[in-house]
């Protein structure tokens, strides 16, 4: 299925490659580099590319591209899910999934790739199973392996590999038993010049951190589960129970894992947390233009908007920006033509404003269309869809664990057209 895997950084350098069936030359990545150059942003590179003899399927995680080479017809989402599982495994093992960290742990990385894929087909992808086969690197273990010539690979077959619950290892013990859940939602929205919502949807995920002794059986209930569409679960969730009762019943993996992802596509259920008043104009006469942007809170349910940032890809004719910001600071990159206004925390009493003039290149015609505004934001303790966890029950064990739920709302692809 998967013949080769290439890891590529943002500057286009291939810093790691792994081949399972036969060695495929790096030149196959040239098709990917061409698509990357045509895309405005790295996120816009098509995930599936067809070449004369191969299919290239890729994902972007952080600042790295995971590019797989396929020679036969396969379901693309199957490969994309596997690539995300590889990135998640690196994150779990090393605490970060970056070029520097991967280069520092090359031996462990190749050991993991060898176990996760067998002759090009996914084999062991559960974190608990992998950690019993390949122990996570530590300073002490690295020193011992260097002196003794040993490796991180275990001698025995993982217990979970032979059970009907492969995601959880046997004999788990903790002094402090705790279960924490993070409900993280991203808003993808497009607003027109008047502020009317053109389209809006919410991508949600529930991340779990469960450290419980023994073999607990958990049940997670929601106050309003009917608003969720297109739900995807971790294999531990009993799907029939969800279909009949709309509750999550599962024996959890040990440690961190993604319990479920969901989608809210009904536009009337998507609350837009901020409004934007903007006016960007380029004059017919004279090499100049005007910019005026004001942002205020809209539907935040009384919560504070943090990490607010506005990014504008200006036309190529804009040479400089002479602006005044009432809050935060701005920067204009002349090479990339990108204006970034970093606002920070939104103060409802004093709305942030950015206004001033734009210097244009002389003799160049007026831009045909105005640039769009890309908004980044974060709201703590709020799920913008209104999803709420009502209770978490545990069966099968007699102790009482610590329990907690945290809500976070972020902006995904949030665009305001001008």
- Mean pLDDT across the chain: 88
3-state class (DSSP) for residue 136? coil
In order, the DSSP letters of 51-110 are -SS-EEEEEEETTEEEEEEESS---HHHHHHHHHHHHHHHHHHHS--SHHHHHHTHHHHH
Side by side, the strands of the sheet bearing 389-395 are 247-250, 217-222, 389-395
Range list of H helices, 162-302: 239-245
3-state class (DSSP) for residue 370? coil
Strands 305-313 and 338-344, by their bridges, are antiparallel
pLDDT for res 154: 60
pLDDT for res 151: 62
Query: 2-148 and 274-380: same fold?
Result: no
Rounded to whole angstroms, how far apart are CA atoms 344 and 23? 48
Rounded to whole angstroms, how far apart are CA atoms 409 and 184? 6
Give the right CATH number for 274-380 from 2.60.40.1170, 3.65.10.10, 3.30.43.10, 2.60.220.10: 2.60.40.1170
Q: What is the pLDDT of residues 83-108, one digit of tens each?
A: 999 999 999 888 889 999 999 989 89
**Rounded alpha-carbon distances, angstroms, from residue 189 to 26, 46, 298:** 38, 20, 14
Using a pLDDT cut of 90, give the percent of the chain over it: 57
pLDDT for res 270: 84
Q: What is the pLDDT of residues 230-263, one digit of tens each?
A: 899 999 999 999 999 999 999 999 888 899 999 9
Which long-range CB contacts under 8 A does 330-333 form with residues at least 24 apart? Answer: 330/354
What value, to the nearest 5°, has the Cα angle with vertex 134 and ends 69 and 13?
35
Using a pLDDT cut of 70, give the percent of the chain over it: 93
- In degrees and rounded to multiples of 5, residue 59 shows phi and psi of -135, 160
- Domain spans of the chain, in order of start: 2-148, 178-269+384-416, 274-380
Q: What is the pLDDT of residues 173-190, one digit of tens each?
A: 999 999 999 999 999 999
Q: Which residue has the higher pLDDT, 267 or 86?
A: 86
Q: Is residue 329 over pLDDT 90?
A: yes
Q: What is the pLDDT of residues 395-417, one digit of tens each?
A: 999 999 999 999 999 999 999 98
Could you tell me if residue 6 is left (phi over 0), alpha (psi between -120 and 50 degrees) or otherwise beta? beta
Q: Is residue 25 over pLDDT 60?
A: yes
pLDDT for res 316: 86
Confidence of residue 125 (pLDDT cuts 50, 70, 90): confident
Q: What is the pLDDT of residues 315-324, one digit of tens each?
A: 888 888 899 9
pTM for the complete prediction? 0.81
Rounded to whole angstroms, how far apart are CA atoms 346 and 296? 7
Q: Which of 132-136, 238-242, 270-274 has the lowest mean pLDDT?
A: 132-136
Confidence of residue 264 (pLDDT cuts 50, 70, 90): confident
Give the right CATH number for 2-148 from 3.30.450.60, 3.40.930.10, 3.20.20.70, 3.40.630.30: 3.30.450.60
Q: Is residue 128 over pLDDT 90?
A: no
Give the right CATH number for 178-269+384-416 from 2.60.40.1170, 3.40.640.10, 3.30.200.20, 3.30.1300.30: 2.60.40.1170
Alpha carbon of residue 197 to chain centroid:
24
């Amino acid at each position: 299925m998967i013949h080769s895997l290439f890891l590529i950084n943002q500057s286009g350098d291939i810093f790691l490659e792994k081949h399972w069936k036969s060695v495929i030359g790096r030149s196959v990545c040239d098709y990917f580099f061409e698509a990357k150059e045509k895309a405005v942003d790295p996120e816009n590179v098509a995930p599936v590319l067809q070449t004369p003899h191969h299919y290239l399927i890729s994902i972007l995680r952080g600042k790295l591209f995971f590019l797989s080479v396929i020679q036969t017809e396969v379901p693309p989402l199957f490969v994309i899910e596997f690539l995300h599982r590889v990135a998640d495994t690196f994150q779990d093992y090393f605490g970060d999934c970056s070029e520097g960290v991967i280069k520092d742990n090359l031996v462990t990385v190749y050991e993991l790739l060898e176990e996760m894929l067998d002759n090009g087909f996914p084999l062991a992808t559960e974190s608990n199973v992998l950690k019993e086969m390949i122990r996570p690197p530590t300073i002490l273990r690295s020193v011992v392996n260097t002196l003794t010539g040993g490796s991180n690979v275990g001698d025995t077959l993982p217990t979970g590999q032979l059970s009907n619950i492969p995601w959880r290892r046997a004999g788990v013990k903790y002094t402090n038993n705790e279960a924490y859940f993070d409900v993280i939602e991203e808003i993808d929205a497009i607003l027109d010049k008047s502020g009317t919502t053109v389209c809006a949807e919410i991508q949600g995920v529930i991340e779990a951190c469960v450290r419980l002794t023994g073999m607990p059986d958990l049940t997670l209930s929601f106050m309003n589960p009917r608003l969720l569409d297109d739900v995807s679960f971790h294999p531990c969730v009993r799907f029939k129970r969800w279909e009949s009762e709309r509750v999550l019943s599962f024996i959890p993996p040990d440690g961190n894992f993604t319990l479920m992802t969901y989608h809210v596509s009904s536009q009337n259920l998507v609350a837009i947390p901020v409004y934007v008043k903007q006016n960007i104009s380029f004059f017919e006469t004279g090499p100049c233009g005007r910019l005026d942007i004001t942002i205020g809170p809209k539907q935040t349910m009384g919560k504070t908007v943090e990490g607010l940032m506005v990014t504008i890809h200006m036309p190529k004719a804009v040479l400089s920006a002479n602006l005044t910001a009432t809050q935060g600071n701005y920067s204009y990159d002349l090479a990339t033509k990108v204006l970034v206004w970093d606002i920070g925390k939104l103060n409802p009493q004093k709305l942030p404003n950015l206004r001033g003039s734009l210097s244009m290149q002389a003799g160049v015609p007026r831009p045909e269309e105005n640039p769009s505004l890309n908004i980044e934001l974060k709201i703590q303790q709020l799920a913008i869809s209104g999803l709420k966890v009502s209770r978490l029950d545990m069966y099968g064990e007699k102790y009482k664990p610590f329990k907690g739920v945290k809500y976070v709302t972020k902006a995904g692809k949030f665009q305001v057209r001008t």
